[in-house]
Amino acid sequence: MGKETAAPTDMARRYGPWAVVTGASDGIGREHAKELARQGLHVVLVARRGDRLEELASQIQAAFGMKTLVVVADLGSPAGVDAVVEATAALEVGLLVQAAGYGSSGQFLNGQVDEELAMIDVNCRAVVALSHAFGRRFAAAGRGGIVLFSSIVAFQGVPRAATYAATKAFVQSFAEGLQVELAPRGVDVLVSAPGPIRSGFAARADLQMGLAMDPDAVAGSTLAALGRSTTVRPGWLSKLLGWSLATLPRWGRVRVMALIMGGMTKHLPA
């Protein structure tokens, strides 16, 4: 545990002293946890890899003096979701950042259906379950924030990443609906749609990415948009790709994404 800060920051005054960050062991989740600590919030760190979380907790405490709570949980299972809810029951949590998620690539019929279904559990089912649990807490308190993550692939079908893109389309639509429902109850909802990111995501999805952003480019601009918009495309690459694709009809975007994914997955079986 670290020391208390002298006075609440703007973020802490808006949402309260504690934030929960899922997927905190790597990439976007890790950078959001660090940025929230820098902005004066204590952070609950959630992921499967406890050693990575403990390392991050030590860094946050040393660099920012904020408290941390490590929760090792697999959000692909209902028990993992329950563990997060139970571990934070006594904390004054006002912000939920759901960065946990992963992807797959290649021809759909060449993959294992159990792996595709497991991805849906993490990317969709856990997002709904945690949003419901914490959303009720935030609404009862009359304040709070939920940050979700879609992707530039959320706005059209994506051959060779069909299931992953569909999970992100679900998150995008889910967030847009929640934002309207929860705003009158004092709860801000934001969905961030980044482009390619340098992190462990690409390795797990077996993607060969050329141009990509660093995850720290996502955290600051995403959190700055919370309470100000519904969807943010963080970083210049996300904006460039988003604007370029937006000029095309949906079928055209699907064809372009097929070419892009073809290049990223050319090492996989046809």
DSSP letters for 140-161: HHT-EEEEEE--GGGGS--TTS
CA distance 101 to 257: 20
Torsion of CA 158, 161, 164, 169, to 10 degrees: 0
Q: Does residue 164 carry a catalytic annotation?
A: yes
Q: Choosing from 15, 164, 239, 266, which is the catalytic residue?
A: 164
Strand partners for 95 = 19, 145
Q: Choosing from 102, 168, 239, 266, which is the catalytic residue?
A: 168
Euclidean distance between the first and the last CA atom of the chain, given in angstroms as a whole number: 51
**CB-CB contact of 40 with 12 (8 Å):** yes
Strand partners for 147 = 97, 190
CA 203 vs. chain centroid, Å, equals 17
Which residues are known to be catalytic? 164, 168
